[in-house]
Amino acid sequence: MISPNPNAAPLIELADVRKTYLLGEVELPVLKGVSLEIRDGEMIALMGASGSGKSTLMNLLGCLDRPTSGRYVLDGEDVAGMSRDRLARIRGQKIGFVFQNFNLLARTTAVDNVLMPLEYSTSRPSDTVARARAVELLTRVGLEDRLDHEPGKMSGGQQQRVAIARSLINQPRLLLADEPTGNLDSKTSKEILELFKRLNAEEGITILLVTHDPNVGAAAHRRIVMRDGLIADDGAGHVHVLDEE
Ligand code: ADP
Ligand code: MG
């Protein structure tokens, strides 16, 4: 079992990160100064009411978008001001994504869905090696007998397992999952949660899950709570005092 090392440099460091969307002429501040550290090997639940900025924060952490201001250091690199091309490269090398709606390609086998991120990879292995890796990942998530099935012929839980295998194809340090059990029944949610726990414990992958599910929250090492574009509680003993509403 790998535990987070409290002395290691943080994998993620955010300092006063702000994100403001521009709607025509109107500025909509969504992240209002987020500071946060996440260490290698942590499993974190990101919680908070709908609209509090969780997905916006996940998009920034995943290098899918850039902050309006503030500092973001990922694995020792300052990524806040990087070009979109460099961000895409970092994303491919270091980050895996899992979504609420699975986001699988419909008329495509499980193996080919898992291989999909390699299309954008700069260090693409040979087809034989890539396929072997996809099969190994699908086996690891318990789908060794569904390799050539298309998503439409699988249950929601099986589809999310394919998506988790896909998120691992580039051997990421960080897995970001935005409400990964939001479309699953409670029994299937538990199974998917067990899979995340196993990936974190056995392989040391740092995992950040957005969730409303208290069971998922309870399984995490740490719960970060957002409120109205700010971290209300970072789960590490830093509770921000907010004005009563
Ligand atoms: P959560 O994931 O916690 O529900 P979001 O980060 O999705 O919250 O959204 C926070 C706020 O930002 C919401 O008011 C939402 O409407 C707004 N928002 C999110 N993305 C955009 C965007 N691309 N353009 C404008 N407003 C956005
Ligand atoms: Mg969201």
The number of folded domains in the chain is 1
Residue owning the nearest CA to atom 5 of ligand 1 = 53
Sign of the CA dihedral 90, 7, 67, 228?
positive
Q: In the block, which residue shows the tokens 């299309």? A: 119
CA 21 – ligand 1 centroid, Å: 9
The rounded distance, in Å, linking the Cα atoms of 221 and 199 is: 14
Enumerate residues lining ligand 1, CB below 6 A.
Answer: 21, 23, 28, 30, 48, 50-56
3-state secondary structure of 99: strand
What residues pack around ion ligand 2 (CB closer than 5 A)?
54-55
CA 65 – ligand 1 centroid, Å: 13
Answer yes or no: is 72 within a domain: no
Answer yes or no: is 215 within a domain: yes
Answer yes or no: is 150 within a domain: yes
Answer yes or no: is 10 within a domain: no
Range of the domain at 100: 41-67+84-233
Ligand with smallest separation from the Cα of 226: 1
The rounded distance, in Å, linking the Cα atoms of 159 and 155 is: 6
pLDDT tens, N- to C-terminus, the chain (245 residues): 455 566 667 999 999 999 999 999 999 999 999 999 999 999 999 999 999 999 999 999 999 999 999 999 999 999 998 999 999 999 999 999 999 999 999 999 999 999 999 987 777 889 999 999 999 999 999 999 999 999 999 999 999 999 999 999 999 999 999 999 999 999 999 999 999 999 999 999 999 999 999 999 999 999 999 999 999 999 987 666 555 44
- Looking up residue 218, the CATH number of its domain turns out to be 3.40.50.300
pLDDT for res 244: 46
Answer yes or no: is 124 within a domain: yes
CA 56 – ligand 1 centroid, Å: 6
Answer yes or no: is 244 within a domain: no
